[in-house]
Amino acid sequence: MEKPNHKAKKISCPRCKGNGYFVIKESVENPLDKVVQCPMCKSEGEIYEPENNNVPELNSNRARLH
């Protein structure tokens, strides 16, 4: 995982919820559970919070959402 500047903080990975792995179904025909390593956090369970998080808050300026 690349290390950004010192101001960035680590947060729990949203994909694996901090576990470093998650369970998927092998296929539609063969619905067995398969454990895979999380590629988003590289199995570390944490990622650095992006500095430019452009996700608008739900209760902010409603005119900007539409």
| Element spanning 4, H or E | none
Segments making up each domain of the chain, as ranges? 1-49
- Confidence (pLDDT) at 7: 66
Asked whether residue 58 carries a pLDDT value surpassing 90, the answer given is no
- d(CA 23, CA 13) in angstroms, rounded, equals 15
47: buried, middle or exposed (CB in 10 Å: 19+, 13-18, 0-12)? Answer: buried
Reported as a single tens digit per residue, the pLDDT across 13-40 is 999 999 999 999 999 998 899 999 999 9
pLDDT averaged over every residue in the chain: 79
- Give the strand pairing for 33-37 and 21-25: antiparallel
